[in-house]
Amino acid sequence: MKEYRYEQEQAVITKTGIEFFLQKMPNSVGRVNPHVHSAIEILYIVKGRFRMFADDTEVVVGEGCTVLFRSNAVHKIFPLSPGESFYYVLKVKPALIMDFSSPDERGSYLMDLALRTGDRKVMWTAKESEDSGISAEILNIAKEAERRDYGYDIAMKAGAARVLLAILRDTRPIESRLDCGLSENNIRRIYDVTVYINSHYGENLTAADCAARAIMSVSYFSRCFAKVTGKSFKDYLNTVRVGHAEKALATTDRSVTEIAADCGFSNVSYFISVYKKLKGITPLAARKA
């Protein structure tokens, strides 16, 4: 099976809705630096142990475990085992969920699988992965990708849908159904705004601008946004901006002032204050670390 480096966003995601590959880590001194993409990413550990971070959530996982990185979540990965470790990566375009679901339900599905709020389940143990059927589906996708029999692309997409379904059904008994008193249409509007924020975080975004995109009054939009995401508009926007700043600090040599401006902060002092509040350290300390 062909291997890819993590940072390569394959055009196949746009064309087919999914991407699947095997990621190898040579030893415990390597790492996958902070990165972010719009796809929903599911990792299934085949060999070794890893420490993984998704925004403010940290998990340590081993063989047979599954990790879910929701859309636009900044994540990084550190291998903990000596010798070679590897895991399967399944990336799914959020629009694929819409293709498989009904208009009445897709809003809730998008909220559960794509929207990151920091308080939802991100890790399944080996037993949970097996009991929910996630392990079997991932391994079947791997077989289809390896053999490439006639219709393998359909089989892989169907397998990806079953993985998402297993995750949805496994989380619902634990986490109550999203019941915020909003219609599916309004939930979808809020989701669309979060997608817009993650694409335009460097611009001068305001609640009024986003309320207009959602065709809502500012007050009603603010209430709906908080109910769906669990954060105020300002807090969510700052979380997104700091997440992208974290990536830039780790992967570029731009100054803190430049990164702050690129991520939508007009005042570098305010950026440093927000960064420290969300991450516990200053941007410069994060870069040195």
**30 three-state secondary structure:** coil
Taking the CA atoms of residue 179, residue 135, residue 71 and residue 33 in that order, the dihedral angle to the nearest 10 degrees is 140
With CA atoms as reference, report the closest residue to 39 among 62, 6, 66, 64: 6
pLDDT band at 20 (very low <50, low <70, confident <90, very high): very high
Quick one: pLDDT at residue 139? 97
pLDDT band at 30 (very low <50, low <70, confident <90, very high): low
Helical axes 184-199 vs 106-113, angle rounded to 10°:
40
- Alpha-carbon distance of 237 to 269, in angstroms, equals 17
The rounded percent of the chain whose pLDDT value lies above 70 is 88
Query: Could you give the domains of the chain?
Result: 11-171 (2.60.120.280), 184-288 (1.10.10.60)
- Residue showing tokens 């300390």: 285
Helical axes 152-171 vs 134-147, angle rounded to 10°:
170
Among 96-105, 138-147, 166-175, the range scoring the smallest mean pLDDT is 166-175
Strand order in the sheet with 40-47: 18-25, 85-92, 40-47, 66-69, 123-124
Strand partners, 88: 22, 44
Burial 142-151 (b: 16+ CB within 10 A, else e): bebbeeeeee
Helical axes 218-229 vs 184-199, angle rounded to 10°:
90
* Positive or negative: CA dihedral 213, 200, 92, 224: negative
pLDDT tens digits, one per residue of 229-280: 878 999 999 988 998 898 888 778 899 999 999 999 999 999 999 999 988 8
Which pairing describes strands 57-61 and 66-69: parallel, antiparallel, or unpaired?
A: unpaired
With CA atoms as reference, report the closest residue to 169 among 214, 85, 112, 239: 112
pLDDT band at 14 (very low <50, low <70, confident <90, very high): low
With CA atoms as reference, report the closest residue to 168 among 216, 204, 223, 124: 124
Please state the length of the chain: 289
The DSSP code for 284 is: H
Given a cut of 70, whether residue 6 has pLDDT beyond it is no
